[in-house]
Each structure stands twice: as structure tokens, then as C-alpha cells.
Amino acid sequence: MASQRYDTVIIGAGVIGLATAFRVAQRGLTVAIADPEPGSGASRAAAGMLAPVSEAWYGEEELLGFGLTARERYPSFAAELTELTGVPTGYTQAGTLQVAYDSDDLAMLERVHELHLKLGLQARRVTAREARSIEPMLAPTVRGGVHVPADGSVDPRLLTRALLLAVARCGVAVHRQHVREVTLTAGGADGVALADGTRLAAASVVLATGWQAGEIAGVPPAALPPVRPVKGQILRLHSEQPILTGAVRGIVRGSSVYLVPRASGELVVGATQEELGADTRVTAGGVWELLRDARELVPGLTELELAEVTAGLRPGTPDNAPVLGPSALPGLVLATEHFRSGILLAPVTADLIAEFLDTKRLPRAAARFSPARFSAEPLAAEPLAAEPLAAAEPAAGEAPA
């Protein structure tokens, strides 16, 4: 069978794999990327919110910092792609308005805003009246909100289209096929075999397969990170004109819902969060919950055409953060498991992985997200001490600890 040789082979052509291929090829390395349907997974379902501040949560401060860096990089990343390909990405920095439906929801939003204030993030508490002056289509019952002016959004489907053209311009070979297995030598991964038997030999293999990164033929399971698919059902509505100026993220009776407008008149309403394994069925209940909550915030949306219902699978790790850098298998590099933030983190992930592949040094910003954090030896249970809990008298000659 045919064999081709590259510096890097990337498995998975969602936005993470494509952005990484783009940056690696720009450094002069030869790159191939393999995926039977580029952009068809989580990248196709995603709303494309670039909203690290309005998605900030307690205990995820490092992820937030990474997201802020990514948000800063988006304007130039999007502009560069459009300049190279002529394809717009739908990038806009129109802000996010977080709103609360009832007083309990407002209390929850105020807790999130305390975190904003504690971390010095740019976010402003607004009254209900101010919220409605920002978004006049909001229901008069909305209790109040928090405005995050620097958040933005991008259209992930346009972004994928632009990235596919960009990688082609940079000489990346796109193989629209399944990877049958990662091939190994005594020293580690040395390429992949495609479904038709073609072998792509490479010095480095990058795994960017999202929720499927927990298993790939040829790779010892211990070299792969833990991952669970988290289903998100998401709606696409349509009107002639956008009915919102920026994204609205609401808490409605304790549940979260977001609405992301596009200049085309598309309004994305998402998303459920369901731990059901690799299930991508769209359900009546999922659609009903999203429309029920979205309508409480923006009643006028019931007039819009319901153009599409999709379900995607977010790749979740135990700490909700991505897995970036060399794995325990030499030659295999991970750029995966971005959970709720794959679109946001694509440019920064691509830069870090390209730097690593080019220089063999992992930038410091990636250290926190190293695969090694999941490979620590499990703690052995200590046998319960037989002594009473009160401090024992030190034996003669023995110094107290």
C-alpha cells in the first residue's frame, strides 16, 4: 500500500485539529490531517461563544486565564483567516448580557459576579431596566443582569470552512478517511494507517479527536486521557434580521440557557448538558426545555423559524480543562478535550502545539494542561491506625515529629 511521509499527522479535523494544522504548516513543517468528515463533530454543533468571563466558574481560574488569552487572540486569528481565504468567520465582539429570570436566579448570578469582581474581570452589574436598554427584546420580567462587553462570538461552521481553505493554501494534505490505527515502532508512535490501508509516516502524531480521544487502535490505553462525552442539544432559529445585538446568557429557574445572534438572522439557542454517553439523538424534551427557558427571557423568539436541531458531544475531562502536550507514548501529542470551550481555545491551543512540534519545548502556558496530570499513581489507602487518636507519648530517645 501507498506510504507518505510528513513531519506531523493530525487525527481529527474539527476546529482544534484544523487550527493546529494551519499553525504547524505555517512554521514550515509538512502536515497531513485525517478525518472522514472534517468539521462534522462538536465544531458543527457549537454556538461559537467566545465568552470566558460569562462562563467563568469557581475553581476554574486557570482555565479562565487560558480563555482570556484565547479571546484576545481571536480578532487577529479571524482576520488572518479571512484575509487568506476570503471566507468570513462571523467573528464579532458584541458582548454578553447575563440575565436572571427570578430572584433565586439573580442570587446565583450575583455569586458569579462576585467572582468577576474578585478576579478583576471586566463585567458590570446592570439593573433590569439597563439590561432592557442593551437588549430591548428582553422580557419585562427579567430581574437584572451582568454585562460583559469584551465577550464575542464566531460562527464555527464558517470558521471550519475558512480553516479548511487555509490549510489547503498552506500545503496541508487533507485525507477524508478514518484512521484505522496509530502505528508504532519500538520508540513510540511513528504514523497512522488510514482505512484504505494508506500509511502516513510521521515524526509526531497529534490526537485531536474530541470525545473519542479516550480510545484509538494502536495506542496503549494508559497513554490516553480520561474523557466522557457530554451531550448538548442546540437549536438554530431564523429571522430576517437579528433580534439581539449580542449574546444573552440566562439563568432560568436554576437552569442555564444561551442565545447567540448572527448577522445573517440566525439565532442559536443552547444547550442541554446531558451525561448519557455517546448519544446524539435530539429529543422532544431537550427542545422543549431550551425553548421554554429561552422564551422566558426573549418572548418574541417564538415567532422565528425553527431551522435546525442538532446534538453534539462535548469532550469532558475530570477537571473540565483540555489535555495539551506530549503523552506517555513518545511521538503521540494530545490536543484535545476542550469540553465547553473548543471554539474559544482553538487559536491558543494551535499556537502552543505548533510551538511544541517545532521546538520540542512545551510553552509554560500549556504545563497546567499536560496529560501527565491524569497519570499520577493512585493514592494507596492507609491502614487505619490501631492507636487511640490522642497523641502518643514519644518513646524514650525518640524526638517528637
Q: How far is the CB of 57 from ligand GLY (least distance, A)?
A: 12
Contacts with ligand GLY: how many residues (CB under 6 A)? 7
Contact pattern for ligand GLY over residues 57 through 96, marking x by CB under 6 A: ----------------------------------------
Q: How far is the CB of 77 from ligand GLY (least distance, A)?
A: 18
Q: How far is the CB of 113 from ligand GLY (least distance, A)?
A: 19
Question: Measured from the CB atom, is 223 or 269 closer to ligand GLY?
Answer: 269
- Residue located via cell numbers 458543527: 44
How, if at all, do strands 49-50 and 152-153 pair?
Answer: antiparallel
What SS3 state is found at 202? Answer: strand
Tell me how far apart the alpha carbons of residues 302 and 285 are, in angstroms, rounded to a whole number. 17
Q: Which of 49, 200, 247, 257 binds ligand GLY (CB under 6 A)?
A: 49
| Cell numbers describing residue 20 | 493546529
Burial of 369 (0-12, 13-18, 19+ CB in 10 A): buried
Contact pattern for ligand GLY over residues 174 through 213, marking x by CB under 6 A: ----------------------------------------
| Cell numbers describing residue 153 | 462570538
Tell me how far apart the alpha carbons of residues 320 and 314 are, in angstroms, rounded to a whole number. 10
Among all residues, whose Cβ is closest to ligand GLY? Answer: 340
Question: Measured from the CB atom, is 143 or 340 closer to ligand GLY?
Answer: 340
Contact pattern for ligand GLY over residues 297 through 326, marking x by CB under 6 A: -----------------x------------
Question: Measured from the CB atom, is 270 or 371 closer to ligand GLY?
Answer: 270
Question: Measured from the CB atom, is 47 or 131 closer to ligand GLY?
Answer: 47
Q: How far is the CB of 48 from ligand GLY (least distance, A)?
A: 9
- Residue located via cell numbers 490501508: 197
Q: How far is the CB of 128 from ligand GLY (least distance, A)?
A: 25
What are the DSSP calls for 258-323, one per residue? EEEE-TTSEEEEE---B--SS-----HHHHHHHHHHHHHH-GGGGGSEEEEEEEEEEEE-TTS--E
Q: How far is the CB of 273 from ligand GLY (least distance, A)?
A: 7
Question: Measured from the CB atom, is 12 or 316 closer to ligand GLY?
Answer: 316
Q: Which of 23, 116, 236, 340 binds ligand GLY (CB under 6 A)?
A: 340
Question: CB neighbours of 48 closer than 8 A, spacing ≥ 6?
Answer: 90, 153, 154, 155, 156, 159, 260, 268, 343
Tell me how far apart the alpha carbons of residues 159 and 343 are, in angstroms, rounded to a whole number. 9
CA 15-95-231 angle, 5° bins: 45
Site residues for ligand GLY, 222-281, by CB under 6 A, read: 232, 270-271
Q: How far is the CB of 42 from ligand GLY (least distance, A)?
A: 9
121 binds ligand GLY, rule: CB under 6 A: no
325-362 b/e with 16+ CB inside 10 Å = b? bbbebebbbbbbbbbbbbbbbbbbbbbbbbbbbbeeeb
- Residues in contact with ligand GLY by CB under 6 A are 47, 49, 232, 270-271, 314, 340
